[in-house]
Chains A and B, each alone.
Chain A
Amino acid sequence: MAAPLELSCWGGGWGLPSVHSESLVVMAYAKFSGAPLKVNVIDNTWRGSRGDVPILTTEDNIVSQPAKILNFLRKQKYNADYELSAKQGADTLAYIALIEEKLLPAVLHTFWVESDNYFTVTKPWFASQIPFPLSLILPGRMSKGALNRILLTRGEPPLYHLREVEAQIYRDAKECLNLLSNRLGTSQFFFGDTPSTLDAYVFGFLAPLYKVHFPKVQLQEHLKQLSNLCRFCDDILNSYFRLSLGGISPAGQETVDANLQKLTQLVNKESNLIEKMDDNLRQSPQLPPRKLPTLKLTPAEEESNSLQRLSP
């Protein structure tokens, strides 16, 4: 389509194009289907607090939630699910529902409700993206919205209390992650070799959890143990989000991009493995030390690594 598509969403950090799960889902889908999207990082809108981000604007349409945006893109012929069978399409819906029911509450909790995480990471980050004076109000609102959602959907009446729900939602999230990992197995994407809607959703929800550095990390730790899911996130990041830093891929070069992406994927897998093991050592000192190809480490890093290994 010739009409320019603009996506307004929260910005990126920690190596991700966006820190907001739903924005990431839409961006990933656009990359997979080759839709040319111009990404606008929003900063001063009330819409973020009402959960209306991401927003897709074209010449005469404004579409707001991820599901609707994906539908709209499909109608414009940017369809990443073209090769899926009917049963796989049905499976997609089911797995998306699973993620929204089981994983989303825990992700919301990790980001917005857990006080350590919220005050040290989430709130400063969002506040830095929003101009004063909204930066004082919006993060608080988003946090309350998240808490509300968790309590209303998981809290059992008449006991709308957070403590009882916390343990349950984390258990559910861990189970959900295990199920996703089982389903992915050793394949590249969930349905064969080409990414689809389900991959976009899984990536959108897992990537922030995987990449953002939090003080309280029980869910992140669990995710890191599921190496095929980590590999999945890294693959997508490397192949689809590093090639064009501006976030645009011209529609005419789709096939060339696809081949290039496959080639770079192969190359990146090798360097990813090394990088990931390196990351693991640096971020999770409590894991037992592994044999690493130490060629990559400089003497300074080696020293800091051994220091971390010694610390509890």
Chain B
Amino acid sequence: MCNLPIKVVCRANAEYMSPSGKVPFIHVGNQVVSELGPIVQFVKAKGHSLSDGLDEVQKAEMKAYMELVNNMLLTAELYLQWCDEATVGEITHARYGSPYPWPLNHILAYQKQWEVKRKMKAIGWGNKTLDQVLEDVDQCCQALSQRLGTQPYFFNKQPTELDALVFGHLFTILTTQLTNDELCEKVKNYSNLLAFCRRIEQRYFEDRGKGSSSIRSS
């Protein structure tokens, strides 16, 4: 969205290369910056920012909505990937361990699962059932949908960091094939969110020919 030239590289040890242990991270010259927050600040320091046109109250709102997305959608995605037995068994274990030889693939997958379960327990999601998680996701999508309304982007004409974040999560949810399609269905209930994702995908990704998994196919 900032029109910066990037090259996307997939590496198995990405989590370990990152300075904070989290993906994604960018490698610019001799600097490495990880996670959305610091990356945004880094890019801002270099002179590109999407949220310059917002006033204080709007910036506060944007931050609040970003936290909402992180809190609800991210946690729900983690839950679905790692705490729902069906998904874990069929998809996550295989996918997470695929770059490694046996027995490392099993060990690393179990270790990650244990870590995620610990985190869920600490924030109180440990006892939630799948239905409750889906309900939370629904509430979150409803809030996003109401905030978006009929506007093209969340803060009217220009895309901001919030649009990028929401697009990232929703696109992943919509295009990832899981054993359980309910999460996908929940998001599809909100037509303006669907239109929003399509619009961003068409505008920013298809120009560069990166339409490897398009929303239209699901």
Within 8 A of B (CB), among A94-131: 94-95, 97-98, 100-102
CB distance B57 to A148 under 8 Å?
no
CB distance A97 to B122 under 8 Å?
no
Within 8 A of B (CB), among A67-86: 86
Q: How many A-B residue pairs have CB under 8 A?
A: 72
Instruction: Digitize B90-127: 1 where CB-to-A-CB distance is under 8 Å, 0 elsewhere.
Output: 00000000000000000000000001001100111000
CB distance A179 to B63 under 8 Å?
yes
CB distance B124 to A65 under 8 Å?
yes
Bound-complex Cα distance A62 to B60 (A): 36
The reply on B176 being an interface residue by CB < 8 A is: no
Bound-complex Cα distance A188 to B72 (A): 29
CB-CB under 8 A from B61, the residues of chain A are 91, 94, 183
Size range of the chain B interface in the assembly: 20 to 34
Bound-complex Cα distance A187 to B162 (A): 27
CB-CB under 8 A from A61, the residues of chain B are none
Given contacts A93-B143, A157-B115, A182-B57, contact A98 B67 (CB under 8 A): yes
CB-CB under 8 A from B150, the residues of chain A are none
Size range of the chain A interface in the assembly: 20 to 34
CB distance A94 to B65 under 8 Å?
yes
CB distance A100 to B143 under 8 Å?
no
Closest Cβ of chain B to A168, distance in Å, is 11
CB distance A87 to B63 under 8 Å?
no
CB-CB under 8 A from B44, the residues of chain A are none
CB distance A183 to B71 under 8 Å?
no
A86: which of B57, B60, B146 is its contact (CB, 8 Å)?
B146
The reply on B24 being an interface residue by CB < 8 A is: no
CB distance B70 to A93 under 8 Å?
no
Bound-complex Cα distance A91 to B68 (A): 10
CB distance B119 to A90 under 8 Å?
no
CB-CB under 8 A from B124, the residues of chain A are 51, 65
Residue from B72, B140, B146 whose CB has the most chain A CB atoms within 10 Å: B146
CB-CB under 8 A from A100, the residues of chain B are 67, 71
Closest Cβ of chain A to B67, distance in Å, is 4
CB distance B21 to A98 under 8 Å?
no
CB distance B64 to A179 under 8 Å?
yes
Residue from A90, A91, A100, A157 whose CB has the most chain B CB atoms within 10 Å: A90
CB distance A158 to B60 under 8 Å?
no
The reply on B207 being an interface residue by CB < 8 A is: no
- Which 7 residue pairs of A and B lie closest in terms of their CB atoms, listed nearest first? A90-B143, A97-B68, A94-B64, A179-B60, A98-B64, A97-B71, A94-B68
- Residues of chain A touching chain B, judged by Cβ–Cβ distance below 8 Å, are 51, 65, 86-87, 89-91, 93-95, 97-98, 100-102, 145, 148-149, 152-153, 156-159, 179-180, 182-183
- Residues of chain B touching chain A, judged by Cβ–Cβ distance below 8 Å, are 20-22, 56-57, 60-61, 63-65, 67-68, 70-72, 115, 118-119, 122-124, 139-140, 142-144, 146-147, 149
